Amino acid sequence: MKLLRYGPRGAEKPGLLDSEGRIRDLSGTVADIDPAVLASGLDAIRQLDPATLPLVSGDVRLAEPVGNVGKFLCIGLNYRDHAAESGMAIPTEPILFTKATSAIIGPNDEVLIPPTSRKSDWEVELGVVIGKEARYVPREKALDHVAGLCVVNDLSEREYQLERGGQWDKGKGCDTFGPFGPYLVTLDEVADINALGLWLEINGERMQTGTTADLIFDVPFLVHYVSQFMSLQPGDIISTGTPAGVGMGMKPPRFLEEGDVITLGIDGLGEQRQQVRRSVCGA
């Protein structure tokens, strides 16, 4: 299934994408695509015939596909080529940091770079959404706790992240720096989680091309690993790292500017498109 949420911010409705790429309304079956519905195993939705659901007409906003996310966790330097372009050592254990849930926006919503930002950057990543509580989970059972996958743009302000002291979080959690979606794709629709192509373009120019085959730490290991340090709850997201091609790694470095258009996607999981605008102080 490809689950989604649609509608104006604050008034989103649950939906799914049918086999013909049309949005079907799920609000008669579930109130939202949220932790409670994910924890149910999506049983009520799985029993439906999509053809019996109301079609959604018109041009609607696609929201983030999961509401009320509890934790937004990220893995750093999880592709060797990205570690190399960043001038950092290949990690011997996953580098774990958090992204503020207030950064979350829909896949095509506007990205607002902070008023003082000089080094805002892009990162296409595979996102993993937890469906069942995971605590001290063995690697071989990790995928039993995953509801599905999604596209994430782990936007990053590199000066805040690397030059302003402390942890990475302050450069990762800026408002609008966490677009995800357009869909939550259940694992039964993913042919091979270890062979998904990722790509990102700025103004139509290809910047990133990668594959999850190159992950240093794969999805089952990451779910297992993180669950040793904290419980993972339904609706939590793990963003699994980005391949090479970020602005920081270019010579000279290149960063986002007002008016830029970011497009990105992952095989079978959909695409995102964001227009970049600079925030105004006090706004």
Q: Report residue 54 CA to chain centroid gap.
A: 28
Task: Report the pLDDT value the prediction gives residue 167, as an integer from 0 to 100.
Answer: 81
Domain residue extents for the chain: 2-52, 72-278
Per-residue pLDDT of the chain (283 residues; tens, 9 = 90+): 999 999 999 999 999 999 999 999 999 999 999 999 999 999 999 999 999 999 999 999 999 999 999 999 999 989 988 888 878 788 899 999 999 999 999 999 999 999 999 999 999 999 999 999 999 999 999 999 999 999 999 999 999 999 998 788 899 999 999 999 999 999 999 989 999 999 999 999 999 999 999 999 999 999 999 999 999 999 999 999 999 999 999 999 999 999 999 999 999 999 999 999 998 876 5
Show the beta-strand stretches assigned E in 141-245: 146-153, 156-157, 178-179, 184-185, 197-202, 205-211, 237-239
Full-model pTM: 0.96
| The two structure tokens encoding residue 145 | 């706790």
Identify which of 16, 18, 17 has the alpha carbon closest to the alpha carbon of residue 26.
16
Class (C level, CATH) for 72-278: alpha beta
Q: For residue 252, say if its preceding peptide bond is cis, omega within 30 degrees of 0.
A: yes
